[in-house]
Amino acid sequence: MDAIHLTNLSFFARHGLYEEEAKLGQRFEVDLSCYADLTEASISDDYAQTICYGSIAETVERVVTQERFNLIERLAGAICEAVFQLDKRIATVKITVRKPGAPVPVHAGMFSVELTRHRPDAV
């Protein structure tokens, strides 16, 4: 299966369990891979035969910045759902959501979740 990768997308948003996270906000980072058959685009050089990565990025941005979730697991799931709605040719989505400033009681670099989802209506 072919893939389109978007890496190191960064957004300011207000996700998190704690009231301070909702109030102050923080940075979230997203890596996303969309798996689809890109054979026609690779042969024809025709834009209509591919999946617009700009539209994928805008979809990710909309979910991250305009919705609010307690868990980054749910944020990642919501992004997958929105990407599947964007283009029916996308068969699988793999996503990593990183939360560099997670409020934990130890000095740590970064926390992340990774999900792989397959189109629910795939045959």
List 23, 88, 94, 99, catalytic entry: 99
Residues 6+ apart with CB under 8 A from 52: none
Catalytic residue check, 99: yes
Give all strands (DSSP E) within 69-120, no chain letters. Answer: 92-99, 111-118
Residue 109 main-chain phi, psi, to 5 deg: -75, -65
User: Which tokens in the block code for residue 42?
Assistant: 């690779």
| CB 78 within 8 Å of CB 102 | no
Where are the strands (E) in 17-78, listed by range? Answer: 26-36
Residues noted as catalytic: 99
